């Protein structure tokens, strides 16, 4: 990834007091939403995240994307980009697994059970 690509990814500063409901919090949420919708990502500054948590998150993502394609295809949705988007001839290295209502524990559990019917406590 070239530096021009990195410079186009929004950098969102979380060092300010992020009290839910405040104007600063609302503006930051809006920036995150816009970046997510427009680019699918953003960079974060001013937020100390333990290295172990970062490693765990990448490990969980690796575990998920290492599942067989037929398992990942179980994740379907009528909404664009909320199900499984798999590799194609045009974009052979792209995969996406959208989880609807991921902020709701029940939805996250449904997704986990869909991908791992036998259970996966670590996910």
The strand ranges marked E within 49-104 are: 84-85, 96-97
Question: pLDDT tens, 53-103?
Answer: 889 989 999 999 999 999 999 999 998 878 999 888 898 889 999 888 888
The domain limits of the chain are 3-45, 51-115
Beta bridge partners of 44: 12
Report whether 76 contacts 96 (CB < 8 A).
Answer: no
State the DSSP H helix or E strand holding residue 25, giving kind and residue range, or none if neither.
helix 23-38
Cα–Cα distance measured from residue 17 to residue 24, given in angstroms and rounded to the nearest whole number: 8
Cα–Cα distance measured from residue 114 to residue 108, given in angstroms and rounded to the nearest whole number: 10
Question: pLDDT tens, 7-53?
Answer: 688 999 988 777 888 898 899 999 998 998 888 889 888 888 788 88
**Predicted TM-score (pTM) of this structure:** 0.65
């Amino acid at each position: 990834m070239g530096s021009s690509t990195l410079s186009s990814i929004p950098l969102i500063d979380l060092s300010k007091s992020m009290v839910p409901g405040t104007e600063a919090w609302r503006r930051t949420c809006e920036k995150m939403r816009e970046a997510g919708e427009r680019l699918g990502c953003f960079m974060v500054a001013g937020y100390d995240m333990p290295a172990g948590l970062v490693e765990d998150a990448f490990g969980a993502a690796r575990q998920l994307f290492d599942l067989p394609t037929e398992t990942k295809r179980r994740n379907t949705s009528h909404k664009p980009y909320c199900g499984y988007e798999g590799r194609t001839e045009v974009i052979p290295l792209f995969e996406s697994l959208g989880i609807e209502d991921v902020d709701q524990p029940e939805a996250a559990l449904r997704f986990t059970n869909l991908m791992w019917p036998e259970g996966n406590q670590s996910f």
